[in-house]
Amino acid sequence: MSLIPVEDKPGIFRDSATNAIINKNTNDYDTYVKQRNRMRSKEDRINDLEKKVDDLSGDIGDIKSMLQTLISK
């Protein structure tokens, strides 16, 4: 396996046997993984908050129906 440096891309190499691109720059990769995990965490939090809002909206609708039933009696 011989690695050929990719022009204008420090830390990026092409494997001459498989033609695969290989990133030897672990700092950039670690930064990418941290950003990806942060984004996933934010998305999970947003989804959780949206679910809670939907649940509360349904609960408010139930309370409203109960109050209307009490008032009509």
Rounded Cα gap, residues 62 and 45, in angstroms: 26
Domain around 48: 3-72
The alpha carbon of residue 32 and the mean position of all alpha carbons in its chain are separated, in whole angstroms, by 12
- Domains: count for the chain: 1
Number of H helices, E strands in the chain: 1, 3
For 20, what's the count of Cα atoms within 13 Å in the CB-facing half-sphere? 7
State pTM to two decimals. 0.57
Q: Quick one: pLDDT at residue 28? A: 86
Q: Quick one: pLDDT at residue 73? A: 77
Q: Quick one: pLDDT at residue 21? A: 93
- Profile the chain (73 residues) by mean pLDDT over runs of 10 residues: 90 92 90 95 97 96 94 86
Rounded Cα gap, residues 56 and 16, in angstroms: 58
